Amino acid sequence: MSDPILTVDALRAGYGSGGDIIKGAGFSVSEGAISTIVGPNGAGKSTLIKSLVGLLTPRSGTITLNEADVTRLNAPAKARAGLGYVPQEHNVFRNMSIGENMTLAYEFIAKGTKGLKAARERVFDIFPDLVHREADMAGNLSGGQRQMLAFGCALMPGPSLLLLDEPSAGLSPKYVAEMFQAVKSVNDAGVSILMIEQNVKEAMVISETAIVLVSGQVRAQMPAPEFLNHPDIHALYMGTADVTAPETV
C-alpha cells in the first residue's frame, strides 16, 4: 500500500462554545485509494470532514496533507492546498446557473481562468447530464442532478484529495449506481477519495479501506473486504466489538 496522502492525529473539534464532537480522532488515507468513513447517525462524520476542510477550526490535534501541516489553514487555503469537498447538503449555489457554479469552482482556487475550458470538458466527460445545461439555475435541478453538479464543481480545480459527504444520500437506485461509478472513475483518474457513506455494502465494493467512526472516535480502520466479512459489524458500530483499531499501513 502507498504512502498516506492525509494523516489525522488526535483531532478534537466542535461547534461554537459547545463540547467536543470529534474526540481525538486519528486515521490515515492512502494516496490513490478510496477510503470510506462509516458510523451511526450523529457520530460526527460530517463534523469530522468539516474540520478537515477548514469550516471548523480544530481545537487540537494535527492534519497533514501531502506531508504539509494544514491543521490551522482556513477553508480557502485548504482548497488551494488541494482538498476538494462536496458537502452533505447545500452543496451548490442555488441562485447561480450551472455554468457559473462551475466557473466559480475553478477561478478562485486555480487563481484565474487559464485551463477552465479543459477542466469543464473533464467534468462533462464524467457527468454527461450536465452538458448543454449551463444556463439552467442550479436551484431548479433535481436532487440527483444537483449532487452531480456539486461533485463536478469539486473536481473543477483538480484536487488531489476529494472529500465526499454521503454522495449517494437521497438518490434513486439508478443514480446511486451512477454516482458510485463516477466516484470510481474519478479515482481511476488519480484522485484520492475519502467519503462518508451509509450505503455501506455498495461503498465497500469500490473502497480500499473502511474507517469506523463512533461518537467522535475512530473505532477501527481496516481493509474494506475485512470490514465486510467482519463477524460483528453491528458491534463495531455500537463500539462494543473487541477491536484494537489496527492501523493498516
Enter the DSSP assignment of 97: B
Q: Which of residues 132-171 bind another protein (CB under 8 A)?
A: 153, 157
Rounded least distance, CB 41 to Mg ion, Å: 8
Sketch the per residue contact string, 78 through 107, with another protein: x for CB under 8 A, - otherwise.
Answer: -xx----x-x--xxxxxxx---x--xxx-x
Stretch that binds Mg ion, among 28-36, 42-50, 58-66, 78-86 (CB under 5 A): 42-50
Contacts of 59 (CB under 8 A, 6+ apart): 12, 13, 14, 20
15 lies in the binding site for ligand ATP (CB under 6 A)? yes
Max distance between CA atoms of the chain, in angstroms, equals 54
Distance of alpha carbon 233 from the chain centroid? 22
Rounded least distance, CB 198 to Mg ion, Å: 9
Amino acid, single-letter form, for residue 83: L
Sign, CA torsion 159/46/180/106: negative
Contacted entry of ligand ATP, another protein, Mg ion, none for residue 47, CB cut-off 5 to 8 Å set by kind: ligand ATP
Measured between alpha carbons, how far is 57 from 63 in angstroms, rounded to an integer? 11
Distance of alpha carbon 68 from the chain centroid? 19
Q: What is the dihedral of CA 87, 47, 208, 222, to 10 degrees?
A: -170
Contacted entry of Mg ion, ligand ATP, another protein, none for residue 42, CB cut-off 5 to 8 Å set by kind: ligand ATP
Q: Which helix (H) or strand (E) holds 7?
A: strand 4-13
Indicate which single residue of 74, 140, 142, 172 sits in contact with another protein (rule: CB under 8 A). Answer: 74
On whether the CB atoms of residues 237 and 40 are closer than 8 A, the answer is yes
Measured between alpha carbons, how far is 117 from 156 in angstroms, rounded to an integer? 10
199 lies in the binding site for ligand ATP (CB under 6 A)? no
Rounded least distance, CB 8 to another protein, Å: 18
172 lies in the binding site for another protein (CB under 8 A)? no
91 lies in the binding site for ligand ATP (CB under 6 A)? no
Rounded least distance, CB 21 to ligand ATP, Å: 4
46 lies in the binding site for Mg ion (CB under 5 A)? yes
Of 18 and 128, which CB lies nearer to ligand ATP in the complex structure? 18
Rounded least distance, CB 172 to another protein, Å: 24
Contacts of 91 (CB under 8 A, 6+ apart): 146, 147, 150
Q: Which of residues 59-98 bind Mg ion (CB under 5 A)?
A: 88
Other Cβ atoms within 10 Å of 196 Cβ, number = 23
Sketch the per residue contact string, 18 through 57, with ligand ATP: x for CB under 6 A, - otherwise.
Answer: x--x-----------------x-xxxxxxx----------
The binding site for ligand ATP (CB under 6 A) comprises: 15, 18, 21, 39, 41-47
